[in-house]
Amino acid sequence: MKVAVVGATGLVGTRMISILEERNFPVTELIPVASERSAGKQVQFRNSAYTVVTPAEALDMKPTLALFSAGGQTSLDWAPRFADAGTVVIDNSSAWRMDPGKKLVVPEVNAEVIGPNDRIIANPNCSTIQMVVVLKPLHDRYRIRRVIVSTYQSVSGTGAKALDQLFGERKGEPVNRVYPHPIDLNLLPHIDVFQDNGYTKEEMKMVKETCKIMGDDSIRVTATTVRVPVVGGHSESVNIEFESDFDLAEVKQLLAAAPGIVVQDEPSRAFYPMPLYAEGNDEVFVGRIRRDESNPNTLNCWIVADNLRKGAATNAIQIAEDMLQRGLL
């Protein structure tokens, strides 16, 4: 299988290539793709060097699968051209997520929505992915009315230049500022651009994407997203209101049995999810599972995942694996 990785030299693209190798995805030929200025560079995959090509060159090579992580405009410009040529595109940008004709997929939640005619599949926002993995088994059992989420999102979610700003500030060096304020020793309640309603685009992504992935527009979601001076791994404080009461022990059992989830919930010995230890893993970690004593039928929990892996690259490759297993690739 010829597999193109569009955005192969970026943070997520490089993760995609390494995860394809880790998971032994059946790649017969890797096609690393980037912009004109990166064309000609070398990428390592399975002890071999592959030359980075432009999107136009990759299109001529007729890949079976294209994993896109090169920004929304690149996806809008090129994903339809690859799809028209018969390539299955899994896109990590926000370009197609809310398009009613495109499926928005987290395999543990809604892989079954992908059909044989889907040629562009959207990969959700990183913070949405880890939350819905936890929400799914709870919604199936108790039906969720409302979700209040506050995120603590790492700098790697912005990209390599943001990491340069963080490390430069930490060393006291002059930096090219990606954020409007310093990020080291600071928190920024500002991810993506502000909308007319006072929420950021990132916050509204979580609202809209959650309902689409869960297949239930009745779930009310409100979000506050915050950038924190952590290198990798997004964390979320999530408050979940159900239609009826729940059993706390059963909640923990449901989560422990659900695919892709690791429960870390032993507060007596300070055992709970942390981004430092989630980094480099593909699971979603959940802990601090407890009743909200201020509101009936309501649960609090703390969710952590590696934003470059499960929040982006791994989820895209899991979509491809599911499609392969079902004969859709």
CATH number of 127-307: 3.30.360.10
**What pLDDT digit, counting tens, does each position of 227-254 carry?**
999 999 999 999 999 999 999 999 999 9
Nearest CA to 211 out of 267, 135, 278 is that of: 135
Distance CA 5, CA 90 (A): 10
**For residues 98 and 17, what is the distance between their CA atoms, to the nearest angstrom?**
26
Count of helices and strands (H, E) across the chain: 10, 14
Give the full edge-to-edge strand order of the sheet including 144-153: 220-227, 144-153, 234-242, 298-305, 284-291, 261-263
Q: Is 237 exposed, middle or buried (0-12, 13-18, 19+ CB in 10 A)?
A: middle
* Spatial distance between the Cα atoms of 91 and 122, rounded to a whole number of angstroms: 5
- Residues 139, 181, 190, 234: which is the catalytic one? 234
Q: Which two tokens stand for residue 276?
A: 């430092």
Quote the tokens at residue 292.
């909200």
How far apart are the C-alpha atoms of 153 and 259, rounded to whole Å? 23
Q: How far is CA 53 from the centre of its chain?
A: 25
262 vs 268: CA distance, rounded Å = 18
Its pTM stands at 0.96
Give residue 149's pLDDT band: very low, low, confident or very high (50, 70, 90).
very high
Rg (alpha carbons) of the chain, rounded to whole number: 20
Are 291 and 269 spatial neighbours (Cβ–Cβ below 8 Å)? Answer: no
Q: Which CATH class is domain 2-124+312-325?
A: alpha beta
pLDDT digits (tens, 9 = 90+) for 61-117: 999 999 999 999 999 999 999 999 999 999 999 999 999 999 999 999 999 999 999
Asked if 211 is an active-site residue, the reply is no
Determine the distance from the C-alpha atom of residue 106 to the mean position of all C-alpha atoms in its chain, rounded to a whole number.
9
Concerning whether 234 is annotated as a catalytic residue, the answer is: yes
The full set of domain ranges for the chain reads 2-124+312-325, 127-307
Which of 236, 151, 149, 227 is closest to 187 using CA atoms?
A: 227
Amino acid (1-letter code) at residue 165: Q
Predicted local distance difference test score (pLDDT) of residue 265: 98
pLDDT in the model for residue 166: 98
